[in-house]
Amino acid sequence: MFRTHILGFPRIGAGRELKFALERHWRGEHSIAELEAVGARLRARHWALQRDAGMDFVTVGDFAFYDQVANHIQLLGCEPARFSFSAEDHELSRYFTMARGVSREDGDEAGAPALEMTKWFNTNYHYLVPEFSADTDFSLNSERLFAEVEEAKNLGHAVKAVLIGPLTFLWLGKEKTAGFSRLSLLEKLLPIYQQILARLKTLGVAWVQMDEPILGLDLPSEWLRAFEPAYHHLAPAGAPILLASYFSPLGENLGLACRLPVAGLHVDAVCAPEDVPVALDWLPTHKVLSLGLIDGRNIWRADLDRALDLLRPLTSTREVWISASCSLLHVPFSLEAETGLDAELRSWLSFASEKLHELRALKRALENDPVADEMLTRSRLALQGRRESPRVHALEVQARMACLPEDIDRRKSSFPERNRMQKARFRLPLFPTTTIGSFPQTAEIRARRAAWRNGKLAQSAYEAATKDEIAHAVAVQEALDIDVLVHGEAERNDMVEYFGEQLAGFVFTANGWVQSYGSRCVKPPIIYGDVSRPKPMTVFWSHHAQSLTQRPMKGMLTGPVTILQWSFVRDDQPRAATAEQIALAIRDEVVDLEKVGIGILQIDEPAIREGLPLRREKQADYLAWATRVFRIAACGVADETQIHTHMCYSEFNDILPEIASMDADVITIETSRSDMELLQAFGNFHYPNAIGPGVYDIHSPRVPSVEEIETLLEKALTVIPAEQLWVNPDCGLKTRDWPETKAALANMVEAARRLRQKQDKTR
Ligand code: GLN
Ligand code: ZN
């Protein structure tokens, strides 16, 4: 018997209704009741879509006003004590306080920073990190999930409820006090899960999906050992449990997953097809096997025939469920809104709503329902069209890739030699100062760009105004006496979009939004074909900027891995191959910039860490190609040309050798939020090239004092030799205002000056 279900659906809504409702509520224009009504409407709509597509259950519990982990913090009654909530505080207002923090300006005496946010496994979704201490207690503290189950039942749906499993929930959190392991809280946590399961059973849910994606990680043995006893506690408590893992192979944890006393197991057959035959073999036949055959992370139409080939032989052996690999949270809502895409390209795609239909087609085909034939034919034609399309395959790109010179990813000389030449060329002072690229993206800049894009502002007027903006940025930096300048990126909307729009092989949707965190959505470009650069992308602006000053002007580019990581990537060739094509395009840009006299180039790779596979055994391969494609992009230049890179948003301590292997002459890196912890690691590792540890946090409007920056630099000097140290903020300044930017940079330059004086004296 076959059934269909999904692990979760995008909650933001077809027209991002949830985003707008949240923002209205936060501005004080919408009451809690109005917000709740929007939530209920969205849930009802999304359940109806699931039912209409023939899902055997609707999934309840995947909805969240901000984040599913935050929902669990309330459900399990472990809101951190530091927020000092009182009994009268409304549940949702506590929820948003945890998510967004309270600042002192809000009238709160102490202020309370929001919960930390971090990436959900290897996705670009960010969850709120639970905080644990040795005395954390749990209690069943929210009726929300049960109310949503009632809601679905009242609408006549068969319900599968979804919960984050207890071990994954603990794993996702952080110990806020020393000397204990959050795993020790499991004993206190399990009784609450038992209560929840019992309640769900009373409410008549058919199944409970327990997400334990940490089974796809290389877990410490004590965590692994905790699974069996935990699930022995939970299994008898309520409705049958479907244990779900995704994003990464279960691998050697598959035996454990099959043994757990639960009624079913979901495996991600897209990212770990190798798990499928093993699960079929090991999972006792009385248990349900849910196969995630439709890619929940990407937007391509599925190969239904291939799925059917796998499914058909299973007909009589056991109960099999068909699903998407993971929650559909990670893909846009529906293709319906994409009227601007040409029909051919559109036929290659499948967003969340279309994926429901693909699941329905699979089920119907297995039931030999003739209605499936039409869908299968359409799908085959589209797939064939995509495979053969000349839009996908660019012969010149492939010819170039086929004969890359062996030294394409090497500079001519080693860093010490290049360094000598670059020092002679640029004559920068000790502790050179610079910024990361962007300057404040004022409302005026954004409005002007929008007007130009909509054809309401002439090209010439737009160009003139943008040149003025650049001239202003140059004047400000010269007045501040910054050593290496930037043009300010006023012409860019987003660091990936700007390049994607100019590269061949990319397409942009009108409404392909995916939730990033809270009300924040991103619209990743789609890389559908071979990537190439029809013409220079940044040369015009950078060349102009350099013409305004005697000081070096950095050319500013986004690196191949970051462009790849923040896009939907084609699935018909390895990611590494696509990355290599992007790298070659960026390389050509770098070389063209060098030709017009740009002596320093920065290639940003903030996303290099987030592409790291979850399984250790797969990491070396990724790091090898990710660092290689960076070098391909960077290494087309002469030794006298200086290459910078920039990284942020992640912890880099564990990949320092690989970062060093990228061989950038200078790396500027976010360190201020980790309290310079990273610097220590750079010091211990003896990072060979130059480093600019971010000396202040640009995410806050606070202006750092000269002394503060000086102290930080002194600290940096204890681990980094003076000749290798650069001075810069920790990221681009586009989210800041001009007054605070100028004040902060003035202090930064002054701190560098004082440090130089001190060094002179000691020499
Ligand atoms: N050059 C980019 C900027 O300054 C870098 C942004 C980033 O690291 N995310 O905006
Ligand atoms: Zn950054």
488 lines ligand 1 (CB under 6 A): no
Tell me, yes or no, whether 528 lies in a domain: no
Q: Tokens 């795993």 map to which residue? A: 183
Q: Please tell me the total count of domains within the chain.
A: 1
Is residue 232 assigned to a domain? yes
Query: Is there a domain that residue 73 lies in?
Result: yes
- Say what the pLDDT of residue 700 is: 82
3-state secondary structure of 683: helix
> What CATH number did the domain enclosing 283 receive?
3.20.20.210
Residue 646 appears among annotated catalytic residues: no
Q: Is residue 187 part of a domain?
A: yes
Give the chain's residues under pLDDT 70: 103-110, 672-676
Alpha carbon of 732 to ligand 2 centroid (Å): 6
Report if residue 198 sits inside a domain.
yes
pLDDT value at position 32?
97
Return the residue whose CA atom lies nearest to atom 4 of ligand 1: 732
pLDDT tens by residue, 219-247 = 999 999 999 999 999 999 889 999 999 99
Any atom of ligand 1 within 6 Å of the Cβ of 734: yes
- Looking at residue 108, its pLDDT comes to 57
Tell me, what's the pLDDT at 656?
94
Q: Is 646 in the pocket of ligand 1 (CB under 6 A)?
A: yes
Inter-CA distances, 628 with 357, 505, 585, 653, 659, Å = 40, 21, 14, 19, 11
Instruction: State the pLDDT at residue 71.
Output: 98
Give the range of the structural domain holding residue 12, as residue numbers without chain letter.
2-388
Q: Whose CA is nearest to atom 1 of ligand 1?
A: 437
In a domain, 713, yes or no: no
* Predicted local confidence at residue 128, as pLDDT: 95
Look up residue 416 and give its two tokens.
Answer: 């010490």
Mutating to test ligand 1, I would choose from 434, 494, 495 the residue with most ligand atoms within 8 A of its C-beta, which is 495
Is 438 touching ligand 1 by the criterion CB < 6 Å? yes
| CB contact set of 81 (below 8 Å; sequence gap of 6+) | none
pLDDT of residue 107: 57
Q: Which ligand is nearest to the CA of 558?
A: 1
Single out the catalytic residue among 357, 393, 472, 699: 699
Q: Which atom of ligand 1 is nearest to the CA of 606?
A: 8
Q: Which of 12, 98, 8, 71 is nearest to 519 (CA)?
A: 12
pLDDT in the model for residue 676: 66
For residue 234, the tally of other CB atoms under 10 A from its CB is 23
**Cβ(603) – ligand 1 distance below 6 Å:** no
Q: What is the pLDDT of residue 104?
A: 62
Span between the terminal Cα atoms of the chain, in Å? 81
| CB contact at 8 A, 546 and 517 | no
In 632-756, where do the E strands start and end? 642-647, 666-669, 690-693
The answer to the question of residue 702 being in a domain is no
Q: What is the pLDDT of residue 671?
A: 78
β-pair partners for 642: 600
Predicted confidence at residue 260, as pLDDT, reads: 97
Q: 293: exposed, middle or buried (C-beta count within 10 Å: 0-12, 13-18, 19+)?
A: buried
Quote the pLDDT of residue 699: 82
> Is 306 contained in some domain?
yes
Q: Which atom of ligand 1 is nearest to the CA of 670?
A: 8
Probe residue for ligand 1, chosen from 436, 441, 554, 698 as the CB with the greatest number of ligand atoms within 8 Å: 436
> Which atom number of ligand 1 is nearest to the Cα of residue 437?
4
CA-to-CA dists, residue 416 to 422, 641, 664, 689, angstroms: 10, 13, 12, 8
